[in-house]
DNA sequence: CATTCAACATACAGTCTGTATGTAAGCGCA
DNA sequence: TGCGCTTACATACAGACTGTATGTTGAATG
């Protein structure tokens, strides 16, 4: 019964401060960019001092990593929520694709996850994060399709990475004003092109 | 007859200094990264002062843009040189792909063109540069294939962008130690999957 | 209840970026 | 060929930012 401004356990304080910092950083990193956002600005937005920031995070980059981690998890959650399991392998992939593109439409998300993320943390670190969250469902969907022989057998890791890259670029292009329908059509064609024997997928998506 | 250290025309001085700066910046940007490289370090490597840098370039970012421009042109040149015209549409695409992956293998090039470039200059600016250099041949190859009916008709811009994204990610993955053969196979499968009527392309690449 | 430790706030040192100012050499021109 | 203007820098400076070191207050603990 102590939620008044005083009396808080250390654990609660830590949790709250970290959350505030991540929230503030996320806001500024999406509005501007990682490089253009300074720690003084972040702590002002969070209502703490730089001392708190450097107490909880090793450096600015570690705070950025925490933001990325959270954002990647949020995207993965949105996708998982949007695709109920009872679907054919191909339809599940398509539903996931649309969910991904929609999720990445949140303002600033593409820059955060697709531009600043790889540049600041490196592709390897981003791959690790992606594989833990977003790409997992994609990879599993692909493996399932291959096992169901709805898709030519290919190295799963490479296929996942390259398709994910295409999705990413599509999200960026759409956010930049590209014709969303064009990119969707191309993505579907790339996926359908991997069918082994020209299996007649359900009616062309117009 | 005035190549001795003194007596140089203003135009020559400008050209030489700009080239020195770009060369030094390129070296450091590939060895480390854009963010980790300071202008004092760059000018020291170039043998000039920061005054010269800010005389020739609006800011650090403009110098970076000049480096990117040059590097993109170099990659495009390597590709164009490696693929003689007398090839079928599909084979030309494959030759171009291999040339691209090989060209991107130069140390630091992936970070420069695929990580720092988009983050610092933005995807739009990078697209503009890519379309002026590297992607042009890819796009033309795709359009040619579509016109020759060796490929399903798809929006050219979107298809070019997404395939380019896949190539880029493959280059990054290979540089990071991924199995080059896996990525090559997947890339070829993606391309071949776009054939309209299951046209039997010439013998599988091993 | 005394001590230890966690969670900060404040102060500081070093570095970087961009700009303003100064200077010497090139260049057009009478 | 001398004179004014401009280019191509070098130097000096102001502001901002990052990370660290130090101090302080309240919670946890035996």
A6 touches strand C (CB under 7 A): no
Is residue A84 very low, low, confident or very high in pLDDT (cuts 50, 70, 90)? Answer: confident
Tell which residue, B60, B174, B179, B178, has the closest CA to residue B121. B60
List bases in chain D with any atom under 7 Å of a protein Cβ. Answer: 7-12, 16-23, 27-28
Residue B100 parent element (H or E):
helix B89-103
Q: Which residues make Cβ contacts (< 8 Å) with residue A166, sequence separation at least 6?
A: A187, A190, B162, B163, B165, B166
Q: What is the pLDDT of residues B6-23, one digit of tens each?
A: 567 878 899 999 999 999
Mean pLDDT for all residues in chain A: 90
How far apart CA A114 and CA A89 sit, in angstroms, is: 27
Nearest residue (Cα to C1') for D22?
Answer: A51
C-beta separation of A166 from A101 below 8 A: no
What is A139-183 written as a DSSP string?
Answer: HHHHHHHHHTTSS----HHHHHHHHHHHHHHHHHHHHTT--HHHH
- Residue B89's pLDDT is what? 81
Residues of B with CB under 8 A from a CB of A: 33-35, 114-116, 118-120, 122-124, 127, 152, 154-155, 157-159, 161-166, 168-170, 172-173, 176, 178-179, 182-183, 185-187, 189-190, 192-195, 198
**CA gap B108, B126 in Å, rounded:** 17
Q: What's the pLDDT score for residue A24?
A: 98
B38-67 mean pLDDT: 98
| The token pair that represents A169 in the structure block | 């670029």
Tens of pLDDT, residues A144-178: 999 989 899 999 999 999 999 999 999 999 999 99
Instruction: State how far the Cα of B116 lies from the Cα of A116, in Å rounded to an integer.
Output: 8
Q: How many Å apart are A55 CA and D16 C1'?
A: 22
């Amino acid at each position: 019964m102590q939620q008044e401004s005083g009396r808080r356990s250390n654990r609660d304080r830590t949790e709250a401060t970290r959350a505030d910092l991540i929230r503030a950083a996320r806001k500024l990193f999406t509005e501007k960019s990682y490089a253009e956002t300074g720690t003084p600005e972040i702590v002002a937005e969070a209502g703490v001092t730089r001392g708190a920031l450097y107490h909880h995070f090793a450096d600015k980059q570690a705070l950025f990593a925490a933001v990325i981690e959270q954002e990647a998890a949020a995207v993965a959650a949105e996708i998982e929520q949007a695709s109920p399991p009872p679907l054919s392998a191909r339809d599940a992939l398509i539903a996931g694709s649309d969910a991904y593109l929609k999720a990445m439409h949140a303002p600033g998300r593409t820059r955060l996850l697709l531009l600043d993320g790889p540049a600041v943390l490196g592709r390897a670190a981003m791959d690790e994060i992606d594989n833990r969250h977003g790409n997992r469902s994609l990879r599993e969907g692909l493996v399932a399709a291959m096992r169901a022989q709805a898709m030519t057998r290919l190295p799963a890791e490479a296929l996942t990475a390259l398709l994910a890259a295409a999705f990413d670029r599509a999200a960026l292009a759409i956010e930049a004003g590209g014709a969303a329908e064009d990119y969707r059509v191309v993505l579907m064609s790339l996926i359908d092109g991997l069918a082994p024997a020209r299996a007649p997928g359900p009616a062309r998506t117009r």
